Structure 1
Amino acid sequence: MALQWMILAYVVAAEAAIAVILTLPSPKAIQSRISSLVSRIVQPSLFIVPFSAFQLLDIYWKSEHRLKCSGETCTAAERSRYERAFFKAQRNVILCLAACFLYWCIYRICSYHKEIERMEEMEKRGKEE
């Protein structure tokens, strides 16, 4: 299970780096090439959304079927273990949501770049006429 979370963490880090690279100011030629490269990568990397959704369902199922540690029957070690598992689940939920949100941001940034290029071409054609 830890391997899945490690993969998701690396994907989130890569998505964050790509989002930063896309939003950095750069010359128009470089920006258009970066944008076209990332837009080609975005479509196949859609797997992250169902993967994150599956992980969220797994977290939900585990939280619903976890033994509750409340009352005087729990020892300090059991209570500590329960709280650590709860905090780890919260961290993993944030990781899943960040993966989906960053994917959406990258998709929208690439589509905005394509739209801007299309509008610039239309403006150039309009000036030529």
Structure 2
Amino acid sequence: MALEWVVLGCAAGAEAVMLLLLTLPGLSRLRPGLVAVTRNALKPMISVVPFCLFLLLDIYWKYETRPTCDKEHECTPTEYLRHQKSIMKSQRNAILIACALLLNWLLLAVTRLVVHIDQLSERIEKLKRQD
């Protein structure tokens, strides 16, 4: 099950790098290429959303089927520690899911804004040449 989390972490890292490169000032010469690469990468990266939903359901299933340590079922210290570690991993994984979804949405929004700004700049240049 750890492979899914590695894949999601790599996808979130790639989204973060693309977002950083798109918003970094001073890369005006590279920006058209970055926008093209990002726009082409967005379509496959949208598959992160259903993947995150699947992993969220996995966390929920683990939460529902976890062993309980109440008065009826006494837990040994080892079982209690394993239970606490499982809860911590689930919380970490939920944060990773939230970050991946947020980065995906931000990358989509920033890419749209950059494309829109480029289109408006082209219109302004065209109007200046006409005058």
Same fold (TM over 0.5): yes
Does the aligned pair in 2 maintain the 1:32–1:113 contact within 8 Å?
A: no
Residue 103 (structure 2) aligns with? 102
Alpha-carbon distance, 1:28 to partner: 2.1
Partner Cα distance (1:53, 1:103) in 2: 14
The aligned runs of 1:23-102 (5 Å cut-off) are: 23-71=23-71, 73-102=74-103
Q: Percent identity, please.
A: 33
Aligned length, in residue pairs: 129
Partner Cα distance (1:109, 1:70) in 2: 49
Partner Cα distance (1:103, 1:81) in 2: 33
- 1:20-39 per-position Cα deviation (integer Å, ceiling 9, x unaligned): 11211124231122112111
**Comparing 73-82 with 22-31, which one deviates more in the overlay?**
22-31
Question: Please, what is the CA RMSD of the aligned residues?
Answer: 1.4
Alpha-carbon distance, 1:115 to partner: 0.3
Query: Unmatched 5+ residue regions in structure 1?
Result: none
Paired amino acid for 1:73: E
1:89 aligns to what SS in structure 2?
Answer: helix
Paired amino acid for 2:80: R
Does the aligned pair in 1 maintain the 2:11–2:45 contact within 8 Å?
A: no
Residue 9 (structure 2) aligns with? 9
Does the aligned pair in 1 maintain the 2:8–2:100 contact within 8 Å?
A: yes
Paired amino acid for 1:26: G
Query: Unmatched 5+ residue regions in structure 2?
Result: none
- The two structures have a TM-score, normalised by structure 1, of 0.92
Alpha-carbon distance, 1:74 to partner: 1.2
